Structure 1
Amino acid sequence: MKVYFYLLLTLVLVSCNDINIEEKKELVKSVDETKNNQKMNVLGLIGGTSWHSTIEYYSAINETVNAHFGNNTNPPLLVYTLNQAEVHRFQIENKWDSIAHMLVNAGLNLNNAGAEVVLFCANTPHKVYDAVQDKLDFPVIHIADATAKAIHKRGLKKVLFLGTKYSMQENFITKRIEDNGIDILVPKDQEEIDELHRIIIEELTYGTIVQSSKEYVLNVIQKSTKEGAEGVVLGCTEFPLMIFQDDLEIPIFDTTKIHSMAGVDFILKK
């Protein structure tokens, strides 16, 4: 089939005398780009929690693949958007099995559409990671594994973790990072945990950036450095909408970008 295709291309180039040399080069380049696309793995994104951070995943993956090929080659990327209002309702009602069912359904739909691997575009859904992965016969890229690798790459031993109250009060993310030999600090004060959660749910998931809320988060981070934090994991994919590396002297581990790059590695077969 490949021999036939390139023979056909050669006949087209030879027979079309009205096509100049530059146009022929562009046609060959287009064929090469198509060939590159065909070699990439298909990744599925389970997003919508929130759609604002899902956009960041989509942008980061496309931009990185573009940069890899040095042109506008886009990855074979599929997106399934969950209903965030329904997810939040199930969280409040403590119906995590219902959230797991939503994620399994999304994963199966993506797989049926051609995705070979999927990832959750958020930290909190990883609370039901094991339950979801058990129901799927293809891999789900875990955000904590990718984050631990990034922390090791910087040579740090102790970091602060910030996220929703679920991921700060429970260890479904932090333990997986700690199992990689990294010490994790999380806020202990309940009022502090509740306020960080409120900022995420009531502001950031709507794409709203409030300056006083940003200052609050920065103060929490600064306080942690006195306890030995060498960096901070933005363990909610909405925090990077508000907190940037220029805001701090310690390294930021943006889980949105880190997880996205793990997705790129799969796409490019690294």
Structure 2
Amino acid sequence: MKKYFYFSIALLLVCCNDAKVENNKNAQSEIPIKNNSEMNVLGLIGGTSWHSTIEYYSAINKTVNTHYGNNTNPPLLVYTLNQAEVHRFQVENKWDSIAHMLVNAGLNLNKAGAESVLFCANTPHKVYDAVQEKLDIPVIHIADATASAIHKQELKKVLFLGTKYSMQENFITKRIEDNGIDVLVPQEQEVIDELHRIIIEELTYGNIVESSKAYVLNVIQNSVKEGAEGVVLGCTEFPLMIFQDDLETPIFDTTKIHSMAGVDFILKK
């Protein structure tokens, strides 16, 4: 009698487990599975730095997951540049060599199936035109996406912070200004140099130094006193350090903004 009782309990548990498995199968079958043919293939040219490239990859995947309501992942291809080599070419003022690296990355991504690419950083856009000219697929420009985000908040004047190349030259700021937005940049050379140092010597290595964060926040607050209505974090490493909770002034995180432009391309918006 006891053996029969235990056997009955075991049989009941097996039946219940089978029912749970069947219910799980039915629930999973109701989730629409999207294949890659329904999405555009995007290529990411990263490595400058790999820390911010991870943020691009993460943001794009999470947003596509949310869009479909499940774990559908986008068709992403990643090409990582050698950051040490890129920095050496920057110091040596060999921007043609950097353009060559980006073109080579874009061509390889295109051969692998990418239908568009984006640079996972602001500074490489200095050679955007030279690279786009060599590619048969579009390069999604970070400044266009940023200007669109600023317009959505109806702001007219913003502070732009980035590497010394993007602050002293206008390959990013002019493209934003061409959209009817005033762009302020630090004027003091020592401020420009220190912001650049923080990026190159600390943030590109993933190091967050509290005194450096305080310095950047002070630069932003001084600019707000001069009329800046928002701040563009025009280096994709700055969002590793500066967050919206740190300021009352609106922050435009170019890493996130650019990533969302990539999502729009993937989802064929």
Could you say whether these structures have the same fold, taking a TM-score greater than 0.5 normalized by the shorter chain as the test? yes
| 1:22 Cα deviation from its structure 2 partner | 4.8
Q: Residues of 1 paired with 2:108 and 2:240: CA distance? A: 29
* Distance change >3 Å, CA 219–CA 25, structure 1 → 2: closer
In the TM superposition, residue 226 of structure 1 has moved relative to its aligned partner by 1.2
Q: Tell me, in whole angstroms, the C-alpha distance in 1 between the residues paired with 2:210 and 2:204.
A: 15
Give the root-mean-square deviation of aligned CA atoms: 1.1
Residue 184 (structure 1) aligns with: 183
Deviations 1:179-212 (A, max 9, x none): 0000000000000000000000000000000000
Q: Deviations over 1:133-155 (max 9, x none)?
A: 00001100000000000000000
2:193 is aligned to 194
Give the aligned residue type for 2:188.
Answer: D
Structure 1 CA distance, aligned partners of 2:207 and 2:250? Answer: 24
What is the total number of aligned residue pairs between the two structures? 249
Write the deviation string for residues 246-269 of structure 1: whole angstroms up to 9, x where unpaired. 000100000000000000000000
Pick the aligned partner of 1:23 from 22, 25, 28: 25
Q: TM-score, normalised by structure 1?
A: 0.90
Q: Which runs of 5+ in 1 are unaligned?
A: 1-18
Letter in 2 for 1:23: K
Q: Distance in 1 between matches of 2:101 and 2:248?
A: 39
Question: CA 1:182 to 1:27, structure 2 compared with 1: closer, same or farther past 3 Å?
Answer: same
Identity %: 85
Q: Secondary structure of the residue that 1:194 maps to in structure 2?
A: helix
Residue 135 (structure 1) aligns with = 134
Aligned to 1:5: none
Q: Structure 1 residue 110: deviation in Å?
A: 0.5
Q: SS in structure 2 opposite 1:156?
A: coil
The alpha-carbon deviation at position 24 of structure 1 amounts to 4.5
SS at match of 1:33: coil
Partners of 1:63 and 1:20 in 2: CA distance: 29
State TM-score, norm by structure 2: 0.90
CA distance in 2, matches of 1:221, 1:159: 10
Residue 56 of structure 1 is matched in structure 2 by: 55
Distance 1:215 1:137, change over 3 A: same
Who is 1:33 aligned against? 33
Instruction: Give 1:20 deviation, angstroms.
Output: 4.0
Structure number with greater Rg is: 2
Q: State the shift of 1:26 in Å.
A: 2.5
Q: Residue 200 of structure 1 aligns to which amino acid in structure 2?
A: I
Within a 5 Å distance, the mapping from 1:107-126 to structure 2 comes to 107-126=106-125
Aligned to 1:83: 82
